[in-house]
Amino acid sequence: MAAAGGERGRTSFQRRPGAGPRPSALPGTRPSLRHGQLLLSSGLPSLDCVLGGGIAVGTLLLIEEDKYGLYSNLLFKYFLTEGIVCGHDLFVASAKEHPDNILKELPAPLLDDTYRKELGDEAAVVNSEDFQDSMKIAWRYQNLPKMETSPTTYTKFGHYYDISKKMPPELCQSVKRHSFYLHEELSFEPKMKAWNMNSGYARLLQSIQRIISQEGFDGSDPQKKQRNVLRIGIQSLGSILWGDDVCCSDTPEDPHSLTKFLYVLRGLLRKSLSACIITVPSHLVQNKAIMERVTNLSDMVVGLESFIGSERETNPLYKDYHGLVHVRQIPRLNSLICDVSDTKDLAFRLKRKLFTIERLHLPPDLSDTVSRASKQDLAGSAKLLSSGCGAVAMGKKHLDF
Amino acid sequence: MKIWLLTHGQLVFLEGLKSCLDLLFGEEQQPGQPSPLQFVSSCDLRALFDFVRLSLAPCGSASWKGPVLLVDDLSVLLSLGATPVAVLDFIHYCRVSVCCQLQGNVVVLVHSSEDSEDEENELVVNSLCHHSDLILWAQGLATGFCKDVHGQVRHSPAEQDLVQIYQYKIQDRNVTFFAPGLSAAVL
């Protein structure tokens, strides 16, 4: 028995001596704890938390634009700016404004101490109010930790940007930028006729594929020692400027162009070191079937709903926020489950310089007469609460357990 | 879109994304070998079925009984330009060659939703439900998000009116099923 016990102490695992140098990590990436893929930051740390740590390399993030495209444009710029700060290559495609103009308007990065100072100022104001009155009735709750509104990140991944300032041009020039402006492109080659796709999309795919293979993002060039990540940003895909009438007609001429484009793009992303952000004006798309297919074909889908122009703008329940965030889809890579956050009700707000995504906190309704309007509003938003699965079992709203 | 075919003791795998890229960006195909994803340009699923048929063809003396065909995700075919009738024809042909001739099984995945507005997809799903021997329908709970119960599966074999409901919770590499009311949250 003693001999067997002694043998059980030694394992058969032996470290291979001289296993070789570790491959150099790509700049601006970190491996995910859940599925081991490399993650990139989206430029907004609170969005990274919502997406389960970040955007995995090889995946596609689709942003459903808000009504006037203001906030989705901000997310688009954050993504590109993060690429510049991390040293990634950029590919910007647009049919609306010239990519060079987009790249001139990127926000400036906030240095650590200035950001902490901003946060510190706000926190100090809050703390000084709190310490004065200790709880009298709910004194048991005095020692509980404060509720975190924005999801916290514990590792240093992702940067903060100041929207009121522009990025210095020398920082912008420090990375390689490729651009695709639809109206400046040459007419498409005859080979693309066989694709049976909108010519604007076909040209964009050709351009992306050319950059990926020429610059070696798909690993085709073994000589290249320092590999880098390509960040692709496509603005307002599906809008009329791309030559697609998905946004103006219930029965578009070619309903499959957009979905085919997304499918082929995802194929290109999967086989290269790249990640892509696309903004789509989904509120303009008449045919909801196409939006369902677009959602199924993308890896991550985040919808923004701003309060501008709606009755929620003046609703006191939402006075601290500028809009809602709907996470419609998160990928499950190499695993059956994904890192989905517990909070399904998210809202965003644009503070003086920063844009954050936070848990939607409704203030308690302390008025003497509880307003009926707010109750109906809450009932409406309760229907928007999403469950973990894509399709929800409609039925009697009874408790199953 | 992926297709797995378990036959002749081997697993034949078609990765849709890769074949599509090869078709669109690769060199000119030889005329004798059309790519299985030809339908992206030509709206015809025949080449895809030919891929299945050729993989099932008996090689050598022994023929394999009981092949399994798995299709992950039929709804993508609609997004790529195939008509619903073409998709149903493709599945019908596959069922005839796999189930009727070789006594095998076909497992098909489709996306659907009760309030979906995708009529073509609903047409395909309804038709498949009519022709299937077993339907497994995974949905979220009607009451919203729950950490311990991620959803429910409705198990309904054809010919019987019995519909069984199991609730499930997904872990990293595993899914646990249990009867409604017996989740970890309650016990």
Domain CATH for A346? 3.40.50.300
Query: CA-to-CA distance for B103 and B98, rounded, in angstroms?
Result: 6
**The pLDDT of residue A153:** 43
Cβ contact (<8 Å) for A337 and B172? Answer: yes
Q: Which of A287, A293, A390 sits opposite B79 (nearest CB)?
A: A293
Choose between A20 and A133: higher pLDDT. Answer: A133
∠ CA(A68), CA(A266), CA(B126), 5° rounding?
85
pLDDT of residue A379 exceeding 60: no
Residue type for position B153? V
A136 part of a folded domain: no
Delimit the domains of chain B by residue range: 2-132, 133-187
pLDDT value at residue A189: 67
Q: Measured between CB atoms, does A399 come within 8 Å of chain B?
A: yes
> What ipTM is given for this predicted complex?
0.90
Whether residue A336 and residue B79 make contact (CB cut-off 8 A), yes or no, is no
The strand order across the sheet containing B68-72 reads B10-15, B2-7, B68-72, B105-109
Could you tell me if residue A294 is inside a domain?
yes
Answer whether B24 touches A (CB < 8 Å): yes
**Chain B nearest-CA residue for A210:** B25
User: How is residue A142 written in tokens?
Assistant: 């005095």
* Interface contact flag, B25 A209, Cβ < 8 Å: yes
pLDDT tier at A373 (50, 70, 90 boundaries)?
A: low
Highest mean pLDDT among A104-118, A215-229, A365-379: A215-229
pLDDT at A147: 61
Chain B nearest-CA distance from A399, in A, is 6
Chain B residue with the nearest C-alpha to that of A202: B24
- Rounded Cα gap, residues A355 and A47, in angstroms: 10
A235 phi and psi, to 5 degrees?
-100, 135
Torsion of CA B177, B181, B186, B187, to 10 degrees: -70
Give the pLDDT confidence score for residue A150 in this predicted structure: 53
A256–chain B Cβ distance below 8 A for any pair: yes
> Which residue segment(s) compose the domain that A286 sits in?
27-108+148-359
Q: Pick from A278, A289, A283, A282: which is nearest to A255 by CA?
A: A289
Confirm whether A396 is domain-assigned.
no
Output the pLDDT for position A146: 64
Identify the weakest region by mean pLDDT among A128-132, A341-345, B52-56, B138-142: A128-132
Q: Is A337 on the interface with B (CB under 8 A)?
A: yes
User: Under an 8 A CB cutoff, do A393 and B76 touch?
Assistant: no
Residue ranges with strand state E in A281-319: 300-306
Residue A75's pLDDT is 93
Number of folded domains that form chain A: 1
- Are A400 and B81 an interchain contact pair (Cβ–Cβ within 8 Å)? no
Q: Answer yes or no: do B140 and A293 touch at CB < 8 A.
A: no
Q: A with B: how many residue pairs have Cβ under 8 Å apart?
A: 145
Alpha-carbon distance values, A205 to A76, A91, A192, A261, B146 (Å): 19, 12, 10, 8, 40
When pLDDT is averaged across residues B102-108 and rounded to a whole number, the result is 91
Taking an 8 Å cut-off on Cβ atoms, the answer to whether A387 and B140 are in contact is yes
Q: Which of residues 53-82 of B touch A (CB under 8 A)?
A: 75-76, 78-81
Q: With an 8 Å Cβ cutoff, is B83 touching chain A?
A: no
pTM here is 0.83
Q: A293, A295, A332: which to substitute to probe chain B, counting the most B Cβ within 10 Å? A: A293
With a cut of 50, say whether residue A6 has pLDDT above it: no
Q: Do B139 and A194 touch (CB under 8 A)?
A: no
Specify which residues B69 forms β-bridges with: B5, B106
Q: Is B10 an 8 Å CB contact of chain A?
A: no
Q: Is residue A323 part of a domain?
A: yes
Q: Distance between CA B180 and CA B88 in Å, rounded?
A: 34
